[in-house]
Structure 1
Amino acid sequence: MTADETSGGESQVQDEGAEIAALETQFDIVRYMRRKCEEYRLKFFIVFTLPGFEAEKISAYSIVSNWPQEVLSKYDTLRMVRHSAGIRKLRLTTVPFSYDMREWIGESSGDADFTELIDLFTKHGMLHGHFFPVHDALGNRGAVAWGGESATISHDDRLMLQMISVHLFNRLAEIGSAWKTGQVVLTEREIQCLSWTAAGKTSLDIAEILGLSEHTVNHYLNQVTRKLEAVNRTQAVVKAIRRGLIA
C-alpha cells in the first residue's frame, strides 16, 4: 500500500467517525446504515446488546434494525436466541466473523424444525452476513450484524465496517437509546411513520410517501403510541423527540 493510499484510508476513517458522531437520533442512524448497506452491497442490519443465557427474543435486545417484521417475528417465535450458533460465538469472541444462516441453523437445530425460518431468510436474501462484536465506554457488550446475499466481503471493507460498527454502537449509547430505563425500541417503519407525522403529514399522506396502505400506516402509528404509553399521536411525537427517537 502506498503512502497516498494509507493517507486516503485514514482520511476515510476520520470522515466516517465524524459523520457518525454528528448523528442525533435513531432515525439518523437508520438512514446512515441504509446508505452503508448500499455502499457495501448489503441489504440488512441489526444492532443489539448481547442477550443473556436466559434470553428468548432478539427483539428485546435490538436497538435499531431493518429486518423484515415477518423474519423478526419468526426468529422470536422459534426462540432462536437460544439456538443461534452466532449468539453463542458472540459470547466467546470479540473478533468479527461471517455466517451462512443455513449452516448455523443446521448446527443449532437438533430436533427442531427451522424450515420456515430458512425459507424467510432465503426469500429476503438474508442468508449470509457479518457479525462485528462491539462494546461501549462502560463495557456493555453487543454486536452489529450486516447481512445480504453475498457470502464474501473484501478485507478492506471488513475493516471499515468494523470501525463503523464500533462507532455506531457507541453513538447509540451516547444518544441514550440503548440502555435507558424503560427502553423503547421502534422499528424502521414505526420511526418513518412517526417522523412524517411530526412533519404534519396525515396517514393518507404517509401511505402515499412510503408506498403503504393507509390501514398499515395507522397500525404502525397505533403501535408507536402504545409503546410510548401516549394518549394520542401528538403526545407520541413529543415523547419520541424527548427520547431522541426522532428528530
Structure 2
Amino acid sequence: MILGCLIGGKLHNCAQNHVESNECMQSITESSPCCDWVNKSSAQIRSASTDYDLIKVFKDHVSGTGMKFFAFANFRLGDQTGETVSIGINNWHPEFLSDYRYHRALLQNPVLTRLRSAVLPSVVERKEIIEAETDRECRDFQQSLLKAGLEILIHLPVRSTDGQNGAVVYSGARESLSDSDLMQLSYVAQQGFERATVGAASNSNRQPVLSERERECLILTAQGLNSERVGDALGISTHTVQYHISSICRKLDAVSKIHAVSIAIRDRHIII
C-alpha cells in the first residue's frame, strides 16, 4: 500500500506532481500536526545531545506507535560498488543486523530496492517482501522476521538539509494506519533524521576510537564471518583477529563481539 503525503487535510501524490523528496518532506514539516504526542517527540529530539539520547527517544516513540523496531538508513549511489545502504541508529537485535542475509536482502530484494527511490511514505506487508525474494537464504531470513511478529514495514523517506537521502523504517505488527498517523510519523522521522545527520557530521571530526585494522575485523565479524574466516580475508592469523576483537571490546566496553558490533553500528564507528 503506497500512501500520499497528507498536507492541510488533503492527500497529495508527490510522485505524480514530480515533487522531489526534500520538497515533500519540507511540506510535511511546515504543516506539522498540532498534537501533544508530536510536540513531545519533537522537543525530545531537539534536546538529544548524543546518539544514545536519540535512540532512547525513538525506542519510546516506536513503542507508542504499536511497532517493535526502528532503524535509520542512509542511501548512497556508489561509482563502482553500486548502491550502498548504511544502517544508523536503531533498536534491532544485534543478531539480526550482523546476519549477512539482512544486508544482502537490503540491496537485492525488489520491493526494498523500489522503496529506496520512493518519495512517499509506504506501508508494506512482510509477505510482499517474501514473495518478491528470489534468494532462498534471504527468503528464509524474511520468514524468520515474519515469525518474530514483524508483519509490516513502515518506510518513511527522509532527506537532510545537507542533501543526504535515507529513510526511517519501523517494523512490527499493526492492524491499521490512518493517513493522520502516517503524517505524524513522517514529521517526527524527518526531525530525527536531521538530528542524527548533524550528530554524524560532528562525530566525523573526532579522533577515531578504533584503528583501521580493528574496523576491518569488526565489519567482517558483523557480516557473519568467524575469526578464522576474518583472518583469511585480511591475511592475518586467527590469533591476531582475536587480539583485535578483544581490544575492540575493551575500547567499546562490550561484553562480547556481538555486543561490540551493536555498539559500533549505533555509534557509527563502522558502517555496514
TM-score by length of 2: 0.59
C-alpha spacing 1:115/1:142, structure 2 compared with 1 (3 Å) = closer
Of 102, 108, 112, the match for 1:83: 108
What letter is aligned with 2:107?
R
Q: Which has the higher strand share?
A: 2
1:124 paired with 2:148, answer: yes
- Hey, what does 2:42 align to over in structure 1? 17
Question: Could you tell me how far apart the structure 1 residues matched to 2:103 and 2:258 are?
Answer: 27
Q: CA deviation at 1:162?
A: 0.4
Residue pair 2:94, 2:258 contacting (<8 A) in 1 also: no
C-alpha spacing 1:103/1:166, structure 2 compared with 1 (3 Å) = same
C-alpha spacing 1:9/1:57, structure 2 compared with 1 (3 Å) = closer
Map Cα deviations across residues 16-75 of structure 1 (whole Å, 9 max, x no partner).
Answer: 3222111111111111111112211110111010143646875xx111111222322335
Residue pair 1:96, 1:132 contacting (<8 A) in 2 also: yes
Of 142, 145, 170, the match for 2:194: 170
| Structure 2, unpaired ranges of 5+ | 1-7, 9-31, 219-252
Residue pair 1:56, 1:79 contacting (<8 A) in 2 also: no
- Hey, what does 1:219 align to over in structure 2? 256
How many residues of Structure 1 are paired with residues of Structure 2 in the alignment?
192
C-alpha spacing 1:100/1:222, structure 2 compared with 1 (3 Å) = closer
- Hey, what does 1:92 align to over in structure 2? 117
Map Cα deviations across residues 149-201 of structure 1 (whole Å, 9 max, x no partner).
Answer: 22531222211110010000000111226983769899xxxxxxxxxxxxxxx
1:38 paired with 2:63, answer: yes
Q: CA deviation at 1:76?
A: 3.9
1:74 paired with 2:99, answer: yes
| Structure 1, unpaired ranges of 5+ | 2-7, 187-215, 229-239
Question: Could you tell me how far apart the structure 1 residues matched to 2:129 and 2:202 are?
Answer: 27
- Hey, what does 2:130 align to over in structure 1? 105
Secondary structure of 1:43's partner?
strand
CA RMSD of aligned residues (A): 3.8
Question: Could you tell me how far apart the structure 1 residues matched to 2:61 and 2:259 are?
Answer: 30
Range 25-34 or range 83-92, more displaced: 83-92
